[in-house]
Amino acid sequence: MSKGHIRRGSAALALCAAGALALTACGGGSGSNFGGATKTQASGHAKLTIMIGSSGDAETNAVKAATSAWAKKTGNTTEVIVASDLGQQFGQGFAGGTPPDLFYADASRIGDFASVGNLYAYGDKVKDENFLPSLVDAFTYDGKFQCAPKDYSTLALEINTDMWTAAGLTDADIPKDWAGLETVAKKLTTGKVTGLVIGNDINRGGAFMKQAGGWVVSQDGTKMTADSPENLAGLQEIQKMMKAGTMKFNTDTTPAAGWGGEAFGKGIAAMTIEGNWIKGALTKDFPTIKSRTVELPKGPAGKGTLMFSNCWGIAAKSTHQEQAVDLVKFLTSTDQQLEFTKAFGPMPSTQDGIAKFKEQYPDDAAFAAGGDYGQGPVNLAGFDPVMAAFNSKLATLGKGGDPKAMLAELQKNGTAALAAK
């Protein structure tokens, strides 16, 4: 896991700043297209630079050990660069014509990188690795599988088991649908404790949209689908529970919490909707909290969760693309991904890897299951400002915000962004 999981809900730091800055930093400005032409492949052994945004020493050391093992095996050399500001340093590398060979690339940024020619689209070279189909979709842009997903996270329902028992709830009460969620959230809401607390943006609330059968864009990413009855139903369910006092955004709790996991850890939330990074956060910051993880309840359209991931991006300007692809295959092998799991907790991105993960980590089965039906982020170029505007409105749902108006504005802004592609 990388920094940024907790606040943003992403599988790692976003690599560039939002909006127009993303294109400037990542592409060197409009029309520059630094990575558009691939340099001639350098012969002989290569020195590969790998830039990551790390969650801490465990992740850094694991990546260094893995890349060093590959280097020793192949005769190449590697240098792992841990960015203090991944977006800024990554942008500088592209702007200066010296990007890292290999880097963490967030799924939501793929369109920004690919649209200006900064990514080497090597997906066809790793298509036989059996990555989860939902992850292949997340890293596909303009019909091309751009890069190999390195791991993933999904959202699940985290339950405070002491509060659950105290409320007289049992396994039979685990919510299977929205009605069940409403029921348990009401029973768990008492005094300063709110039954369910979630993050105040689409990275959490969007799960309800998906469960209702909606999403922001069409599956092929060519048209906006925001202003739909399904998306409205999802937001109305959130607002319904908020009006009942059984659900709050993290920013609306007393005191306000930095994220859902903090509200859960401080005991002002009996349940939260978070990714598997919450496990490590609870162990580190709230070790006395006892919890259980279950899949999110179904909505009118069935199961739905959100999926967050990074891929191993390769720079179009790299002179060592063949060696970089070989390193990616090593890093995404089942054994190596499970080593990463052991070291710092991410879930493997391949079919074989996640099957073994489920056997070895049964307590995380709910997170793993989401890989079968999870929805990745919108990965279209220039879409960050659109989503930022929507998130600012979504955060007002608990204070009387109009969900229909929010979705209409998202539809309008998104359509304009698509037309500008």
DSSP H helical segments within 139-259, as ranges?
161-166, 178-188, 202-211, 229-243
- The Cα 347–Cα 307 span in angstroms is 12
Residue percentage of the chain with pLDDT more than 90: 81
DSSP reduced 3-state for 105: strand
**Delimiting residues of CATH 3.40.190.10 domain(s) in the chain:** 5-152+309-375, 154-306+383-419
| Contact in structure between 249 and 397 (CB atoms under 8 Å) | yes
44 pLDDT tier (thresholds 50, 70, 90): low
172: exposed, middle or buried (C-beta count within 10 Å: 0-12, 13-18, 19+)? exposed
- Residue-level pLDDT at 42: 55
Taking only the tens place, the pLDDT of each residue in 159-168 is: 999 999 999 9
- The Cα 52–Cα 11 span in angstroms is 12
Structure tokens at 379: 């990965």
Angle formed at CA 264 by CA 238 and CA 248, multiple of 5 degrees: 25
For residues 10-30, average pLDDT: 30
138 pLDDT tier (thresholds 50, 70, 90): very high
Strands 310-314 and 148-149: antiparallel
Question: Taking 80 as the threshold, does the pLDDT of residue 409 lie above it?
Answer: yes
- Residue-level pLDDT at 41: 54
Rg (CA), the chain: 21
DSSP reduced 3-state for 391: helix
Question: Taking 60 as the threshold, does the pLDDT of residue 43 lie above it?
Answer: no
- The Cα 211–Cα 100 span in angstroms is 39
Give the sheet arrangement for strand 247-249, strand by strand.
247-249, 194-198, 269-274, 156-160, 291-294
- Residue-level pLDDT at 421: 73
| Contact in structure between 377 and 185 (CB atoms under 8 Å) | no
User: Pick from 162, 127, 165, 166: which is nearest to 148 by CA?
Assistant: 127
- Residue-level pLDDT at 37: 36
Question: Taking 90 as the threshold, does the pLDDT of residue 34 lie above it?
Answer: no
DSSP structural state of residue 201: S
For residues 61-74, average pLDDT: 97
Angle between helix axes 321-331 and 334-344 (nearest 10 degrees) is 70
On the CB side of 171, CA atoms within 13 Å amount to 0
- 5-152+309-375 CATH fold: D-Maltodextrin-Binding Protein; domain 2 (3.40.190)
- Residue-level pLDDT at 87: 75
Structure tokens at 46: 């290569």
- 154-306+383-419 CATH fold: D-Maltodextrin-Binding Protein; domain 2 (3.40.190)
- The Cα 61–Cα 82 span in angstroms is 10
Alpha-carbon dihedral sign for residues 281, 283, 285, 289: positive
337 pLDDT tier (thresholds 50, 70, 90): very high
For residues 105-123, average pLDDT: 93
Question: Taking 50 as the threshold, does the pLDDT of residue 395 lie above it?
Answer: yes
